[in-house]
Amino acid sequence: MEDLKLARIGKEKKRTIVDINGIQVGKDLVVIAGPCSVESEEQTIKTAIAVKKAGADMLRGGAFKPRTSPYTFQGLGIKGLKILENARKETGLPIVTEVVDARAVSWVCEYADVIQIGARNMQNFPLLKEAGKSKKPILLKRGVHSTLSEWLNCAEYILAEGNPNVILCERGIRTFETYTRNTLDLSIVPAAKEVTHLPVFVDPSHGTGKLSLIESMTYASIFAGADGIMLEVHIEPEKAMSDADQQLSPEDFAKIMHKIKKLKQSYDTIVVEDIG
Ligand code: PEP
Ligand code: MN
């Protein structure tokens, strides 16, 4: 990975901190929560209020959905972005939302606080370059078949265009295992942090695809050294129009948030202070 000019961590081990409306990504443990898709004003605002109450730092929600089948819900598009804008007004939570098309980056930036580039688009180079031309923080998910080197080179595309605000997000990779939706590769967290100064998040929702596994993988992600967690939460999980099997209820999310705060303290005392 010697070819990484900007993404590589230096000898002094200085890490990037991405400031999002005062939230210090890379310093404090940050939790992004919200529905897979923005489906309606009511669903989004109710979910936003619930995740805010439970302690989430940012709201996620897809308005442009990269779906496997063209016949499934594709997202509300611009209407979805306007709903997210209202959710931010209502809660104050910064908005994380996906862009799937390079031509949309500049105008989605008017609504979003963080632009997500999804796993399917990790190596969409025109999209990465456009994201690099904007100064918005970019959450770059790991592609399902990507090595660490490929992933970091995609971050490099964004950095090389002059945008230093890149956050990486592990979301599971494709292996021979079929019990889980993806195989959450938690060893990539300390591995990535060995090579790059960029913050590394984990998304246990897409990483497992199974409600029963999300909680334990969230805690495991923190102990693996993740700088943040992304979780899908829906006000009525069984009615979700995308990824219904992995939407946490607000109650389950609140329980996880409660434990995250406690675990973070143990992580800081046991791992950071004792082991370094
Ligand atoms: C998402 O977070 O909404 C999403 C589509 O995730 P991924 O790109 O990781 O599949
Ligand atoms: Mn989803």
The pLDDT tens digits of the residues spanning 161-195 come to 999 999 999 999 999 999 999 999 999 999 999 99
Distances (CA, A) of 234 to 10, 103, 147, 204, 253: 40, 29, 31, 15, 10
What span, in angstroms and rounded, lies between the C-alpha atoms of 34 and 59? 5
CA distances from 14 to 26, 161, 198, 199 (A): 11, 21, 10, 11
How far is ligand 2, taken at its centre, from the CA of residue 74, in Å?
A: 12
- Which residue has the least CA distance to atom 4 on ligand 1? 118
Q: Which atom of ligand 1 is nearest to the CA of 36?
A: 3
Question: In angstroms, what is the span from residue 232 Cα to ligand 2's centroid?
Answer: 7
Residue 256, H or E segment? helix 250-266
The pocket of ion ligand 2, defined by CB under 5 A, consists of 36, 243
Q: Is 200 in the pocket of ligand 1 (CB under 6 A)?
A: no
Ligand 1 pocket mutation, candidates 32, 36, 208, criterion most atoms within 8 A of CB: 36
Among 28-37, 68-77, 160-169, 256-265, the range scoring the smallest mean pLDDT is 256-265
Distance 10 CA to ligand 1 centre (A): 30
Whether 2 shows a pLDDT value over 90: the answer reads: no
Query: What confidence score (pLDDT) does residue 275 get?
Result: 65
Q: Is 161 exposed, middle or buried (0-12, 13-18, 19+ CB in 10 A)?
A: middle
Query: Is the distance from the beta carbon of residue 66 to the nearest atom of ligand 1 less than 6 Å?
Result: yes
Query: Rounded mean pLDDT of the chain?
Result: 96
* pLDDT tens-digit map of 48-86: 999 999 999 999 999 999 999 999 999 999 999 999 999
What is the distance in A from the centroid of ligand 2 to the CA of 103?
23
